Structure 1
């Protein structure tokens, strides 16, 4: 609360000070309600009291007196208060009203960024004067002066009675003149650039002016020939210009497609971005891999030579196998059918091979043996030479007499086998009709000697 009160007191004090200063200023101002301003000129000879003061083309006051002060002309001006505020970079320039010699002071209040002018005096370094026509005429020689006088006389005769037209033309040129002032301001700010441009253009101008203008004549001739060639190709240029809209439409379409491709490529580039961050590590790994691969690459020629030798050796085999290539499709088809038929029963076939091997092979004290099974009947045994069956046992009841049957013919004796020593002697009490030794031998053959 105390802070707010103090702040209010301070604001009230400032307001009172400003009001007092304003009241003192109003009391001290002259009754004519004008302000005084002095401008120091190095030369103010054309000025006299009563000459006008203008700001932005508007009259804002007049000259009150012209006096000498410290070797400079002190021009005292009475101005309208509307010219305020004036800044420390304010300028005053003496300009001619007409060619008859009347002058006025063009006053500029300065830039708003500069401090406010408090002394009421514009220094000589901020004042200037326009060049008078008589000064220009005095600076030229007699022939030039005569020609200039003739020019002025002719200009006067040509403009006589044309005041209204000239006034209308000047009003029409006013916007252009304003643009010209802006252009002049831009050129003034670019003075250094213009200086460089002039310095660079000077050698070109000198080269064109060399040889008494022959270089310039050659340049003009070359330009004339170029224009003649362009004129000769006028129809071709018109045709090209006629095709230009279609070309532009195609280019616009291509650019649109390119923009779509670019939009599609953005995600790919985003996905590649992490890889680009690891390029250093990837490069290091590639260098390590290259160093590791150097020994293998150095031994590669020997491997290639050996492979070439093997290929040379295989060439005859390939040539010999070439004729058999014609039957390979048929063999492949047969093998395909065989494999197709065998595949469903492959497990059964493998089990048969396993069990057959287990049942027909073994080992005893003498070594490996092969076991075979023979299924036979007494009838089939009778066909073996030297083997016979004895009479039926007595305990069996007598069978009725059988009808005589044709006896089977005995097979011819085996080649290279010894003939039986005598008639077979069978055991009457044996069911097989064999003797005990014969049965034992048969069992040994069937059981593999067990």
Structure 2
């Protein structure tokens, strides 16, 4: 009989692959092989030759066997296959020997290769960093890199251990506040980095100009050193200045909303200022031309000042004759008394008496302020100190910070909520209120409550002034 021969029993026939048992078994075997290869990947692929090297390190730093990587220049070249602790010997403290399985392309590693155990992430993972040396001889398979070629690494937790608890809390607070300040401001940070990138080219030009031998950098450093030496005698005044600055910053912090509005108004103010300066450039050019024209007259100022000095020297003897003038003034007063007895002068004398009484009332109010608060001495001292460049007490640093609020430069029917003004401060035997008012939040108009018994600066004539006054006859 004719017919086809059965194909199920033929070797290599596709019909054999249609058996579900055979197909499932093949898939299961392939899956197991993949799982084994994936599991063994950290230890190196199976059946792949490796180059084994050992290294002595001061601290294994929690390296894991068959889990920690070995890197050269940041590229993975092997894994750690063993960690062995070594006891101390003599002056050598305890250390560890790390066994590494490297790729064969790293064979004959130079004997002066540096070994460092570095953190892989902040979560605690570590890896071995190899920095190839320049020696011609290499480490044989199974060879050991000595402990002298290992470099210790300070861990992040060890670095923070140098701070005490209070400092650690403050660092944590600074990091938290910095994170809050940068949260949601990624676009602003990107814009800042872009602007900083544009500033690198000018900074590079400035740096190149600074390193030129002809640049006056040495004189600049010397000038800074001289300025620092000049500030050294004023060191005792710095604590008081810093304390006053702290109070000022506290006031600025309390006025944060007004400060924010002021900062928001700075941008249009800057634009207006730029326009004004652009328009004022011709005027400034004319002023510069006038100054250059006056430069020729500056040599004439010295003889003029010398003549003024000679005039003062010549006028001093004349002032000594003032007592004789006083005698004539006395005779004039006698004549005035005679005129006062005249009935026709009664009305004028009554007005003069009222004037004297008014002046007496003013002086009676002024005398306690001057005696207790040194009102005139401090006022004139600060004014002259600011005009002539300062004195040893640094009173020219006294000032007032005015924090504006949007809308206050226009007429309004309502008083600003944060307005502070004290038009008539109390200056008497009980208190010296001017300059010692405490900062108060919100609206504060008039005298603050309570007595403001703050410090009062005591002034004295400069050395030699009294002697010159006595020589001139002005001081008894």
TM-score for both structures, normalised by structure 1 = 0.30
Higher relative contact order (CA 8 A, sep 6+): 2
The structure that has the greater radius of gyration is: 1
